[in-house]
């Protein structure tokens, strides 16, 4: 993350503060709370731009002290020069205030590996810090690399070319940046959109992380995912405005015998922000996609929460114009994402 901070006196103050912090650390070693973190990956070799399932484990010894505030899990993935590549920080499950001495807590999260200019071995470190305070870190048990960062494992990052290539065919707007996540892009679709990928002739798992402007729809939004003309797919009701993650398995038979597969995204409606008085955007919008990844199922390891596609009850509806709205029907204002 880039911070808009001037050089000069600010840097001097920062270095002075760092020196003071280091001096304090030498005089007062961090107290170790016997909580031992560890990590496991669904696969050890992970291409850039792909998804991987990460299981985080926190083992509390009987003598561990209760954490009275909710702490954030710090996760740093570093290259061979110890430079941070990406930071999949998160809140543990359950919250740290619910942890009990003598217990072990494990949970699995999907991590989307960002595109970087580095391939090779990557070191993984974990820690705990208090986001509500001054970012104070908990002293943990394990291979401490300094500043209460515990080395917990390693993965190998592979080139993006190891992934199945996705090609946007129609119905996609240009990507824009996500103000909530530095460096992340996201892309709006129109009411319908199609992306093509090279057919591996094997079962695949589709990862889709997306949302939409829920209040801009006159009825609850519904997404239909389908392959090769709409014979097989999955209907996904969108329950609210929150970002959702869907993992959908398409069998080799559903992908067909062609060299390429067309994957279609069809919303039951679309909207134009300007017509609704939200902003000046005149584009037709349907679904906002943050991450889209297709991987060969037997290469992904154990993937939780996968839903299998199946025959669709009826052909997909043909495109229609965005629903008309009157000023009286205008929804509560929500900035378009």
CA-to-CA distance for 251 and 115, rounded, in angstroms? 28
Which residues 6+ apart lie within 8 Å of 272 measured at CB?
A: 281, 282, 283, 284, 285, 322
Domain 164-329 has CATH 2.60.40: no
State the DSSP H helix or E strand holding residue 307, giving kind and residue range, or none if neither: strand 306-308
> 39 has which bridge partners?
56
- The domain spans of the chain are 31-160, 164-329
User: Alpha helix (H) ranges present in 169-290?
Assistant: 252-255
CA-to-CA distance for 208 and 282, rounded, in angstroms? 25
Contact (CB, 8 A) for 236 and 206: no
pLDDT tens for the 337 residues of the chain, in order: 332 322 233 333 333 333 333 333 444 567 999 999 999 999 999 999 999 999 999 999 999 999 999 999 999 999 999 999 999 999 999 999 999 999 999 999 999 999 999 999 999 999 999 998 777 999 999 999 999 999 999 999 999 999 999 999 999 999 998 787 777 789 999 999 999 999 999 999 999 999 999 999 999 999 999 998 899 999 999 999 999 999 999 999 999 999 999 999 999 999 999 999 999 999 999 999 999 999 999 999 999 999 999 999 755 444 444 444 433 333 333 344 4
pLDDT score recorded for residue 326: 35
What is the CATH number that goes with domain 31-160?
Answer: 2.60.40.770
DSSP letter at 48 equals: T
């Amino acid at each position: 993350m880039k911070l808009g901070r001037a050089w000069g006196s600010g840097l001097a103050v920062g270095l002075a503060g760092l020196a003071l912090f280091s001096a304090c650390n030498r005089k007062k070693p961090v107290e170790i709370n016997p909580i031992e973190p560890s990590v496991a990956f669904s696969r050890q070799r992970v291409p850039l731009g792909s998804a991987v399932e990460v299981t985080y484990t926190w083992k509390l010894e009987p003598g561990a002290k209760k954490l009275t505030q909710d702490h954030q899990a710090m996760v740093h993935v570093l290259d061979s020069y110890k430079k941070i590549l990406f930071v999949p920080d998160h809140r543990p499950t359950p919250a740290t205030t619910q942890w009990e001495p003598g217990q072990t807590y494990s949970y699995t999260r999907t991590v989307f590996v960002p595109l970087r200019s580095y391939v090779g071995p990557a070191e993984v470190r974990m820690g705990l810090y208090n986001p509500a305070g001054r970012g104070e870190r908990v002293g943990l048990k394990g291979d401490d690399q300094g500043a209460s960062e515990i080395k917990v494992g390693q993965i190998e990052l592979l080139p993006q070319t190891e992934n199945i290539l996705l090609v946007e065919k129609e119905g996609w707007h240009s990507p824009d940046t996500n103000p909530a996540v530095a460096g992340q892009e996201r892309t709006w679709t129109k009411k319908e959109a199609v992306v093509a990928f090279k057919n591996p002739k094997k079962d695949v798992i589709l990862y889709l992380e997306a949302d939409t402007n829920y209040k801009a729809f006159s009825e609850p939004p519904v997404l239909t995912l389908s392959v090769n003309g709409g014979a097989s797919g999955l209907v996904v009701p969108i329950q609210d405005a929150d970002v959702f993650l869907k993992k959908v398995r398409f069998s080799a038979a559903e992908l067909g015998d062609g060299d390429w597969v067309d994957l279609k995204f069809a919303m039951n409606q679309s909207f134009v922000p300007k017509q609704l008085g939200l902003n000046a955007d005149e584009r037709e919008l349907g679904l906002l996609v943050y991450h889209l990844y297709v991987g060969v199922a037997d290469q992904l390891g154990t993937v939780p929460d996968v839903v299998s596609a199946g025959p669709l009850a009826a052909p997909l509806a043909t495109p229609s114009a965005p629903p008309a709205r009157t000023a009286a029907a205008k929804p509560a204002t929500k900035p378009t994402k």
